[in-house]
Structure 1
Amino acid sequence: MSQQRTDQGERSNRGSAAGAAAPGAPWLWLSIAAGVLAVAGSVVGLGVGGFYANLTPAFLPQALAQDVANLALAAPALLVCAILALRGSLRARLVWLGVLAFTVYNYVIYTFSIPFGPLFPVWVAVLGLSLFSLIGGIASTDAGAAAARFGSRPAAVVTGWSLIVVGVLFGLLWLSEDVPALVAGTTPQSVLDLGIPTNPVHILDLAFFLPAVVGTGILLLRRREMAYPVAPAFLVFLILTGVPIMVTPIVQSVRGETAAWTVLAPIGLITVLMLVLLAWLLRTVGSPDGAEARSGAGEPAG
């Protein structure tokens, strides 16, 4: 009987480890510093007239839209989720990982694509802090304990297939521009519009993020434990990625430019779909005690 209680206690401790703040507390605090710096940088970027004066007419609205998205949504979400994760919330931790991925992605673009200026040290600091927070956050998350707390296999299956489909579609979309330009020996139009050597979005997506999104979807369908904490993070990443794209035509309209309203329908649809999937998936996350009960009853994790 004593041994049984010991085993149950060990399973309970393992089930709560993913939601506990202690293992990943240093990375959570680093991300809070990144969030504060991101807010400061976006305030300056939006508030100082002519700060992005060296950008092309096509790039400028995108930069302003990104600052709006950072200031209104991404940075506050990073701060709130980090604080809640410090208090032991697994759901907040999973969302936090996704916001960190989005932050790393965008500050790579800031640091490599926007001309050198007064905010360069701030952007580099946000990139470094968020990158180390993301690496440390993933390493300190107990994937097995997290997987045991997901209580709906249908939600996991739908999420897995959605990640695969969205990842493949965006990959084909970028290749539909890059491959014809390579064959013709020309420069893709998006690169000419941005006035930079290459398109950083295509590089990051094709080299890292889209393969990771598709791979996570496949692993989720195969019930691999490591996919369970990563899948919600990628849903958050895709949601946040859609926000500045939808804000860009609004910025263009405010500035009296021709607004690309046609992007709202497809990007809005994908963003809403990812938001619904995220809400569904997170609702299935139970307490550590519930995960232990399901495991004891012989139900598969997730």
Structure 2
Amino acid sequence: MNADIVSEAVDQRRAHTGARTWLGLSIAAAALAFVGSVVGLSVDGIYDSLTSAFLFQALAQDIINAVVVAPLVVLCAVLALRGSYRAGLLCLGAVAFTVYSYVIYTFSIPFGPIFPVWVGVLGLSLFALIGGLVSFTRAGAVERFAHNRATVVAAWTLLVVAGLFGLLWLSEDLPALLAGVRPQSVIDMALPTNPVHILDYAFFLPAAVWAGVGLLHRRAFAHPITAAFLVFLLLTCLPILITPFVQMALRAPASWGVMIPIGTMAAVIVGVLSWFLGTLRTERP
């Protein structure tokens, strides 16, 4: 009995140390991302080599990074360090979004003066994400997510949204492949390939399906991962939603057509995520 108590205490200490590590890395990544985004928005010449289509996306991304994502990561990391399980899940999703975004920054935006900042953010957030996943996929997640209906709805939301994105990208890429031409989005951004499509095909879509199916089968790992995925998806919608406003501010034709479908998707994700986390038990039974 005493040996079991000692073993549990050691496990808790290790978990606490691991949490402090990945949350500390998250805060460092957020601080560096905030600096890089402010520089990108305020210093002339950073994005001069980008096409107009890519420029609008980069500026929208910087605005969301500086105004929403970086503050969210810091706030949630601090709350998680104080013991908030929900805040840790929100932080994990925001860190996943940071990794995703900065893969695009580092591999798709031409080399420039804040390239080292982008690389630093990518490295810090990547290791934070790995540490967070290890921390949250330990035993006990199933007991915390005890509301069956919310769990099923969250799983199907993740699967449906992933499927919609997959169909959307395929609707552009398959005709281009069959016609032997480059997709229009690649031409518009003047890039060899579309980095968003690559990341989604290779990582996001398979991982989302894996997590959603796992959640339907009540696999322990899938519960926190699905919550983080929903946060990731919500944050992914935000740069798309503000891009028309960036275009309008720069006196370019605004793509208002994205507002209804992406806005609807964001609203649904907010509702499902709030319900999913609202039914979460803060203490394990």
TM-score normalized by the length of structure 2:
0.94
Aligned length: 283
Aligned counterpart for 1:155 among listed residues 150, 153, 171: 150
Matched ranges for 1:64-143 at <5 A: 64-143=59-138
Q: Deviations over 1:74-120 (max 9, x none)?
A: 11111111111111111011111101110000000000010100010
SS of the residue aligned with 2:136?
coil
1:6: how far off? 10
Q: Which has the larger radius of gyration?
A: 1
Matched ranges for 1:1-302 at <5 A: 21-288=16-283, 291-292=284-285
Report the AA paired with residue 260 of structure 2: A
Question: 8 Å contact 2:85–2:282 — kept in the other structure?
Answer: no
Percent of aligned pairs with the same amino acid: 56
1:142: how far off? 4.5
Question: 8 Å contact 1:143–1:228 — kept in the other structure?
Answer: no
Q: Tell me which residue corresponds to 1:297.
A: none
Report the AA paired with residue 93 of structure 1: G
1:121: how far off? 0.1
How far apart in 2 are the matches of 1:251 and 1:116?
23
Question: 8 Å contact 2:84–2:282 — kept in the other structure?
Answer: no
Q: Tell me which residue corresponds to 1:299.
A: none
Question: 8 Å contact 1:164–1:215 — kept in the other structure?
Answer: no
Question: 8 Å contact 1:239–1:274 — kept in the other structure?
Answer: yes
1:13: how far off? 7.5
Q: Deviations over 1:255-296 (max 9, x none)?
A: 1100000001101111111111111111111132xx32xxxx
How far apart in 1 are the matches of 2:170 and 2:44?
36
How far apart in 2 are the matches of 1:238 and 1:183?
30
TM-score normalized by the length of structure 1:
0.89
How far apart in 1 are the matches of 2:12 and 2:259?
40
Question: 8 Å contact 1:31–1:78 — kept in the other structure?
Answer: yes
Question: 8 Å contact 1:242–1:271 — kept in the other structure?
Answer: yes
Q: Deviations over 1:185-218 (max 9, x none)?
A: 0000000000110000000001100111121111
Report the AA paired with residue 38 of structure 1: A
How far apart in 1 are the matches of 2:235 and 2:151?
20
Report the AA paired with residue 176 of structure 2: A
Change (3 A) 1:13 1:94: farther
How far apart in 1 are the matches of 2:185 and 2:12?
45
SS of the residue aligned with 2:52?
coil
Question: 8 Å contact 2:137–2:220 — kept in the other structure?
Answer: no
How far apart in 2 are the matches of 1:22 and 1:84?
16
Report the AA paired with residue 177 of structure 1: E
Q: List alignment gaps of at least 5 residues for structure 1.
A: 293-302
Q: Deviations over 1:218-237 (max 9, x none)?
A: 11001101001101100000
Change (3 A) 1:179 1:122: same
Report the AA paired with residue 119 of structure 1: I
Choose 118-127 or 144-153, whichever is displaced more.
Answer: 144-153
How far apart in 1 are the matches of 2:168 and 2:197?
10
How far apart in 1 are the matches of 2:133 and 2:30?
18
Taking only aligned residues, the RMSD between alpha carbons, in angstroms, comes to 2.1
Q: List alignment gaps of at least 5 residues for structure 2.
A: none
Could you list the runs of 4 or more consecutive aligned residues of structure 1 that deviate by over 6 angstroms after TM superposition? none
